[in-house]
Amino acid sequence: MSSLDSTTATLRRRGLRVTPQRVAILRTLHGLANHPSAEDVFRTVQRDFPSLSLTTVYRTLETLAEHGEVELVHVGGERVRFDHRTDPHHHAVCTVCGRLADVEESQPGLADGLSIPFFGNERPRGNAVVFYGVCTGCRSPATA
Ligand SMILES: [Zn+2]
Ligand SMILES: [Zn+2]
């Protein structure tokens, strides 16, 4: 019923021990604007759990990723971003502000028919394609 119950149920379903910290981290990931970094999650969770370290937050997010509950998004640079969406989709990243937007897999022709011998001709996994550009928010109105 409540999102706390569903978060707890999610952890149990994944065979993970339910701790208040894990529940808070997962809830924060779902609550934050799309694709936060571990630091973003840390800053929010810290309000309720001041003793929690960034390392713990990072490890918890990695554990959730290992269990398929979270996707890691590599957008270049040092920071890994975390995605609560685990269904196949792609990403667009703004090179100015670093914001990330989802690009739906269903857009026709995006990865269809793509043959990559490096992958043994397997289709690339979802979340694998990252597009770079400057978002509409960062584009100066004068040049638009
Ligand atoms: Zn931008
Ligand atoms: Zn995403």
For residue 98, give the DSSP letter: -
Answer yes or no: pTM beyond 0.85: no
List of domains in the chain:
3-74 (1.10.10.10), 87-133 (3.30.1490)
Closest ligand to the CA of 72? 2
Residue 133 Cα to ligand 1 middle (Å): 8
Q: What is the mean pLDDT of residues 3-20?
A: 86
Specify the pLDDT at position 1.
45
Q: What is the mean pLDDT of residues 119-141?
A: 78
What is the rounded CA–CA span in Å between residue 42 and residue 56? Answer: 9
Residue 28 Cα to ligand 1 middle (Å): 23
The contacts of residue 11 (CB under 8 Å, 6+ apart) are: 17, 18, 22, 23, 26
Specify the pLDDT at position 87.
82
- Environment of ion ligand 1 (residues, CB < 5 A): 94, 96-97, 135, 138
What is the rounded CA–CA span in Å between residue 110 and residue 103? Answer: 10
Question: Which helix H or strand E contains 51, and what residues bound it?
Answer: none
Q: What is the mean pLDDT of residues 69-94?
A: 85
- In the predicted structure, residue 61 carries a pLDDT above the cut 90: yes
